[in-house]
Structure 1
Amino acid sequence: MTSDSLAAAITQFGDPRGYLAVASIGIPPRDAVDALRADLDAWAAAQRDPQGYDPVIARTRGHYARLVGVPESRVAQGSQTSVLTSLVAAAVPDGAEVLVADGDFSSIEFPFLQRPGIRVRSVPLEALADSIADDTWLVVFSFVQSATGVIADVEGIRAAAARTGTMTFCDFTQAAGVHPVDAALFDITVCHSYKWLCAPRGVAFLTVSERIDPLLTPLQAGWYAGDDVWSSVYGPAMALARDARRFDVSPAWQAWIGAEQSIGLFAGLDLAEVWDLTSGLGDQLCEALGIPLQHQAIVTWPDASGHDLRKLIDAGVRVSGRAGRLRASFHLWNDPSDVVRVVQALRS
């Protein structure tokens, strides 16, 4: 039985039949589209000013904090996960080891690979927990793998990291908005909101634990990182925020207008219910295709030639191909008719 809140959220997305590509880019809810249009009209009518966006950003930060289970003081905002990850890469001590998963998303690996003076070791995802060593300073992984939809062994990784004192870094980009997540379990989390949170591109988040916070330097500090933003627009005097806001990046204003509506929508849902819906549709597709159940919202299967991808695209079904596999991803707007549509297209 679908809850009233989930039923209401589903109606926000209309009827985009055949769209199974949220793992690439989400669809905005109706309220986000309306808010963006109203903001563009106000901007065109010269009725907008920069200070007017500050309450929107503050409310959106609050929505995200509630979604991931940490205080607002632990949340910094930015525009891209790679930029936020770079702050963490800069904090790794010289000579220290960073452990990453093979095939994980490049935005959380390249910043460490570009950092001179540290050791980056890559192992298969399933071996990540067992590969954490006494000298591993940081373990980096995605909660849900972008290419395969596989959920990491979060408890195993956390337990192994606790035994060695290793810092933990988790990317929520393919999880927040579809699966329950708890940022308080990790030292660092990052998340871009344009996928499962259905926000405009350009709104990303960093959460920092009390343990790692003093080790990070706000290398990208600008006026929006100031304790009093509008008293921080000229230097050289600098008084940065005392909490995670000192890592803030100057915001892309219009993107936050849509993000407030989108992230607020998901922050008000039971994400376990969302996961039951979406992973249930994923298993329906697996059963219909005769492949092993994956228990995921992202369903993938080998398609190195792109044959299945072309058939589905030609039939008007939006999916994606990643790492030699076809990737079909289910979200709130999908229902069993989308499963039927995929099967019919592949068997035609």
Structure 2
Amino acid sequence: MHLDAARKLWQPTPGWLNTASYGLPPTPAYDQLHTALTQWRHGSTDWQPWDDQVTRSRAAFATLIGAPTEDITVSSTASQIISQIATALPPDARILIPDIEFTSNVYPWAVAAHVDTAPPDRLADAITPRTTAVAFSLVQSATGQLAPLDDIIQAAHAHDTLVIADASQACGWLPVTTHGLDALACAAYKWLMCPRGAAFGYLSPRLRERMTPTAANWYSGTSMYGMPLTHHPDARAFDLSPAWFSYVGAAPTLDLLNQLDTDDIRRHNLAMANRFRTGLGQPPGDSAIVSLDTTHPDTPQRLQRAGVRMAVRAGRLRASFHLYTTELDVDLALEALT
């Protein structure tokens, strides 16, 4: 499907520049979720059709990142996936993270191991033989900075260091693969535009051998009742019991994304982000997230009056641009800010 045709499936109110907080659903996802809610209201179906959407979503996410379906686990949050990954660490583990990393990829490590930090652009240089794992976001939440992925992977492999990526601010607009990664976690309610409550993880076979399914439940096992304890033989052993309606909305959105060219989405997003940067007298950038100084005291009020919705992160305005962003959205923000 061509991107221009697909964009007609979204109906944002002008001024939405906040996908880094949450993405907006396409019409097929909204309609299917509404149907499921109606079924729930009237008790007109079994739960199995909703659960089928978990299977459909898992396969679609695997396609999106080019991974085998059996290596994909489903959850509700990225932090829960990362917490289970942390069970693979030895008692004396040392984890290296960026010094501005979002806490969902910080706190799970902090309760399990010693945490070292480094600036995002110096992460590769900070990996040493003592580094058990390096954990980082492919795109930083606060600043939009892209990780120097190839440098990190090369340095990590030289020291047999595990590579753990959070793709929550990347999947959906930036081409993402599992090449060189031991694990990847992704909250799907941002750039993947799924309902909050759907999250996906890639767990490599060599990492799974070292992990413990500490959130074991009926969905991660092969039986609903009684002993013995039997896990699925693949990444499903680390599944969290799914929030069905979140996956009812996730499946059609992920299928739609797989019909599009991620490079086309990236080009569109960067065109909108760079139109915004240019209007503010900034040079072009490589991220769909733009971070701005917020020192002017009436900036929030000006944006609100213009109907522009952004976020404030780390004391700075954060604007984010996705496939449904238009030049009108950008120009509304520029007029309010300038």
User: Could you state the TM-score of these two structures normalised by the residue count of structure 1?
Assistant: 0.94
**Bigger CA drift: 176-185 or 21-30?**
176-185
Name whichever of 26-35 and 205-214 sits farther off.
Answer: 205-214
Contact 1:313 1:319 in 2 (8 A): no
Match of 1:113 among 105, 110, 114: 110
Q: What does residue 124 of structure 1 align with?
A: 119
How far apart are the structure 2 equivalents of 1:257 and 1:220?
23
What's the counterpart of residue 16 of structure 1?
A: 13
Contact residue 137 and residue 167 of structure 1 kept, 8 A: yes
Tell whether 2:71 aligns with 1:74: yes
Aligned to 2:172: 177
Tell me, yes or no, if the aligned pair for 2:187 and 2:200 is still in contact at 8 Å: yes
Equivalent residue, structure 2, for 1:244: 235
Counterpart residue identity of residue 175, structure 1: A
Paired residues of 1:308 and 1:326 also in contact (CA < 8 A): no
Q: Distance in 2 between matches of 1:193 and 1:306?
A: 34
1:291 alignment partner in structure 2: 282
Aligned to 1:157: 152
Q: Which position in structure 1 is the counterpart of 2:331?
A: 340
User: Amino acid of the residue matched to residue 144 of structure 1?
Assistant: V
Partner SS, residue 2 of structure 2: helix
Once the two structures are TM-superposed, the CA of residue 305 in structure 1 deviates from its matched residue by 6.1
Q: Distance in 2 between matches of 1:150 and 1:306?
A: 26
Report which stretch shifted further, 72-81 or 35-44. 35-44
Deviation at 1:50, TM superposition (A): 2.4
Q: CA deviation at 1:294?
A: 2.1
**After the TM superposition, which residues 128-139 of structure 1 pair with which residues of structure 2 at under 5 Å, given as runs?**
128-139=123-134
Size of the aligned set, in residue pairs, is: 338
Tell whether the 8 Å contact from 1:309 to 1:321 is kept in structure 2 after alignment.
no
The one of 44, 47, 51 equivalent to 1:50 is 47
Amino acid at match of 1:77: V
Q: Return the match for 1:215 from 195, 200, 210.
A: 210
Kept after mapping to 2: 8 A contact 1:280/1:295: no
Structure 2: distance between partners of 1:211 and 1:305:
51
Could you tell me which runs of 5 or more consecutive residues in structure 1 were left unpaired when the two chains were aligned: none
Give 1:54 deviation, angstroms: 2.7
Hey, what does 1:103 align to over in structure 2? Answer: 100
> 1:304 deviation in Å?
4.9
Q: Distance in 2 between matches of 1:314 and 1:86?
A: 41
Q: Cα 1:146–1:46, aligned 2, differ >3 Å: closer, same or farther?
A: same
Length-normalised TM-score, structure 2: 0.97
Equivalent in the alignment of 1:90: 87
Q: Pick from 186, 190, 206: which aligns with 1:191?
A: 186
**Residues 12 and 24 of structure 2 are in contact (CA less than 8 Å); yes or no, is this contact kept in structure 1?**
no
Q: Which residue pairs with 2:259 in the alignment? A: 268
Offset, 1:125: 0.5
> Residue 310 of structure 1 corresponds to which residue in structure 2?
301
- Conserved 8 A contact 1:203-1:256: yes
The one-letter amino acid paired with 2:289 is I
1:246-297, CA deviations, whole angstroms, 9 ceiling, x for partnerless residues? 0001111111110111111112211111101101111111111102322211
1:202 corresponding residue in structure 2: 197
Q: Deviations over 1:48-95 (max 9, x none)?
A: 222232321111101000001101000000001111111112221011
What is the identity, as a one-letter code, of the residue corresponding to 2:74?
Q
**1:251/1:9 CA distance change after superposition, 3 Å:** same
Distance 1:310 1:171 in 2: 33
CA positional deviation for 1:235: 2.1
Find the aligned partners of 1:234 and 1:5 in 2 and give their Cα distance. 48
How far has the Cα of 1:218 moved from its partner?
0.7
Q: CA deviation at 1:40?
A: 1.2
2:174, 2:266 within 8 Å by CA — same for their partners in 1? Answer: yes
CA-CA distance at 1:12 after TM superposition: 0.8
- Match of 1:27? 24
**Using a 3 Å threshold, how does the CA distance of structure 1 residues 26 and 88 change in structure 2: closer, same or farther?**
same
Q: Is the 8 A contact 2:36 2:50 kept in 1?
A: no
State the shift of 1:236 in Å: 2.5
Structure 2 CA distance, aligned partners of 1:161 and 1:274?
Answer: 30
Rounded Cα–Cα distance in structure 1 between residues aligned with 2:163 and 2:299: 37
Deviation digits for residues 218-256 of structure 1 (CA, Å, limit 9, x no counterpart)? 1101000123xxxx2222222110000000011111111
Alignment partner, residue 253 of structure 1 = 244
Task: Please give the root-mean-square deviation of Cα atoms over the aligned residues, in Å.
Answer: 1.3
C-alpha contact 1:75 1:207 (8 A) present in aligned 2? yes
Partner of 2:138: 143
1:337 to partner: Cα distance: 1.7
Is the 2:18–2:309 contact (alpha carbons within 8 Å) kept by the matching residues of 1?
A: yes
- Percent identity at matched positions? 37
CA contact (8 A) 2:14 2:307 kept: no
